[in-house]
Structure 1
Amino acid sequence: MMIATALTALGLGQAAQASDPLQVGISGEPYPPFTYKAASGDWTGFEVELAHALCATMQRECEIAPTGWSGIIPSLKAGRIDMIMNSMSITEKRQRVIDFTRPYYFTPGAYVAASERELDIPDGLDGLVMGVQSATTNATYARRELRDSGVDIRLYDQAEQVNNDLLAGRLDVILADEIAMVQFLDREEAEGFEIKATAPQHEAYGEGIGIGLRQEDDALQEDLNAAIAAVIEDGTCASLSEEYLGTDVCVYD
C-alpha cells in the first residue's frame, strides 16, 4: 500500500513537472534579428518566435528567460532554465557538458569592414585590429586559425559592443554571424561598411545551431527533435526565417 501511494505521488509529481512552463534561455543582451525586444518591450526575433512555435507543437507552455550569455550554460545546468535557444552552435567542446537537439539552422561567420578597405583574408589581416564576441564559435575559429595572421584579436562580451567599436573606428574588421551582419549593415549608421568574406567550413563551427539541453533531459530532447522536424516540414521555420532574416536558413534532413 505504501509502495502504491509512493508511486502515485511520484506520478503526480512528474505530471506537474511536465505541465510547468519551459524556461527558454536566451541571451539577456539583444542579438537581432534572432532575439531582441520589440517596441512593446516583449522579446521577439527569429529564435523567440520559433521557440513559441516549437512549444505550441509540443503543447507546452514556454516562458522566455533572458540570461547573461557568459553564464547561460551554468544556468542551464543549475536548473534555472530548461533549454538554450540562442544561436548556440553544436560543438564537441560544448557536448562534453550539455546535450543538443538536432540542428535547426546554420549560417557561416562573416568578416565586415569599411567598404573602402581592400581586405585579403587571411593574409591581409596583418597589423589590423579585429573584434569578436567571446564564447562564440567565431572566437574559437579566430583563436585556432587567425593567431598567425598578425591580426590583433579583441574579445567582447556582447555582439553590440563589437558593432559599436567598428562604427567608432576602434576596430578595423569584425568576425560575426553572417545573418546578424546582414541585419547590422541595413542600419543607417552602418552605411559605408560591407561583408568582405565568409569564414570557411571548419570544425570550430560545429554541426549547426541546436537547442542546448541538460544531458539527463532525454524526454525533452526527443520532444524537441520531433517538434523541430514538424515546424521544418510544415514550413513554419522557413516562414519565420524569411520574415526575420530575409532568407531560409533552416536545416533540412
Structure 2
Amino acid sequence: MISSVRAFGLAAAMLLAAGGYASSAEKLILGNEGSYPPFSMVDASGKLTGFEPELAREMCKRMETECELVVLDFKGLIPALLQNKLDAVATQTKPLPERKAKVLFGRPILFNPDSYVVKEDTNYTFTKEGLKGVKIGLQRGSAQAKYIAEHFGDAVETVFYDNPDQIRLDLASGRLDMSLGPKISWTLEFLNKPAGKGWKFAGGDLWTGGGEQGSSWIARKDSQELLDRMNKTVDSIVADCTFTKLRKQFMEVVLLPEEKACM
C-alpha cells in the first residue's frame, strides 16, 4: 500500500508543480494525507478512500460543490494550503498554537487521544531519566513529534518518518523501542493485528494538540465563509446519523459524543 500512496502523492505533486490549483465557487481542492488507515488510504486500484475522504465527498455533495481530493504527505498539507494550492485540508489536524496562528480550525471531526506504544514486557517511567536513550519513531511534522521534543529533548533518540505505516514496520521489526500516536489508529492498524502481538499502550491518554482536545479540518485565514459552510454541512451529516453510517464502514469506535443519538 505504501507504494500506491507514494505513486498517488507523486502524481498530486506533479499537478501542483504544473501550475497549482485555482479556487472557485464551483470547485474545491481538498488535501488529504492518504496514508492513515482507517481514516484515509489509497486502495489497490489507486482510489483514495477511508472515513475522512468519504465524509468529505458527502460534505461536497450536500454543499453542491465539485471537489477534488489530493493526496500529500501530512507535513506538506499546511504549506500547500498557505500557497493557495488547496482550498482546505480534509485530514484530522490537531490545534497546535503555531498552526492556529496560520490557519482556521473547523468543528471537531473526532476525539482521539494519543498514547505510547511499547513492548508488553517493558515498564517505562515517562520522564527524561526514564526514557533516556530510548529510540522512538514519530511522524515528521506531527503534534506528537512536537510533544516529544518539548518534554524529552535529546534524552530520547527520535527517528522521523513520513507516514505511520513506516513506523509500524520498524516497530514490528525491532528497529524502534516505541512510538506515540492516536489510540484509535494504533489499535486498529497495529495492536489488533498480528504484527502488533507483544505490544501495548502505556503512559495513559495524552492530548498533544496544545492541550486542546479534538482534531479538525482546516482552511486558510481568508476562508472563514468556506469553513462556516463546511462546519454547517458536517453538522447536518452528524445530526442525521450519516456520519455514523460512514464511520461504521471503516471502524466500530465512536468518534464524536453526538454519535450517541445514532446508536
- Where do 4+ consecutive residues of structure 1 move more than 6 Å? none
Matches within 5 A, 1:126-165: 126-147=132-153, 150-165=155-170
Superposed CA offset, 1:219-242 (max 9, x none): 211101101211111112223333
Q: Show the 5 A alignment for 1:24-173.
A: 24-28=30-34, 30-122=35-127, 124-147=130-153, 150-173=155-178
CA contact (8 A) 2:95 2:209 kept: no
Q: How many residues align?
A: 235
Deviation string for 1:67-106 (max 9, x for gaps)?
Answer: 2322211211222211111121122211111112121212
Computing the radius of gyration from Cα coordinates, the structure with the larger value is 1
Q: TM-score when scaled to structure 2?
A: 0.81
1:18 alignment partner in structure 2: 25
Structure 1 residue aligned with 2:195: 189
Query: CA shift at 1:207, angstroms?
Result: 4.0
Q: Give the whole-Å Cα distance in 2 for the aligned partners of 1:124 and 1:31.
A: 30
> For the structure 1 residues 181 and 206, does the alpha-carbon distance in structure 2 shift closer, same or farther, using more than 3 Å as the test?
same
CA distance in 1, matches of 2:79, 2:208: 26
1-structure distance, mates of 2:242, 2:110: 13
1:252 offset after TM fit, Å? 4.1
* CA displacement, residues 8-28 of structure 1 (integer Å, 9 cap, x when unaligned): xxxxxxxx92112x1110125
- Displacement after TM superposition at 1:251 (Å): 5.4
Bigger strand share: 2
Structure 2, gaps ≥5 residues long: 1-22
Q: Which of residues 216, 221, 239 is equivalent to 2:222?
A: 216
Q: With the length of structure 1 as denominator, give the TM-score of the two structures.
A: 0.84
Preserved contact between residue 94 and residue 209 of structure 2 (Cα < 8 Å): no
Instruction: Find the aligned partners of 2:177 and 2:45 in 1 and give their Cα distance.
Output: 35
- Root mean square deviation, CA, Å: 2.2
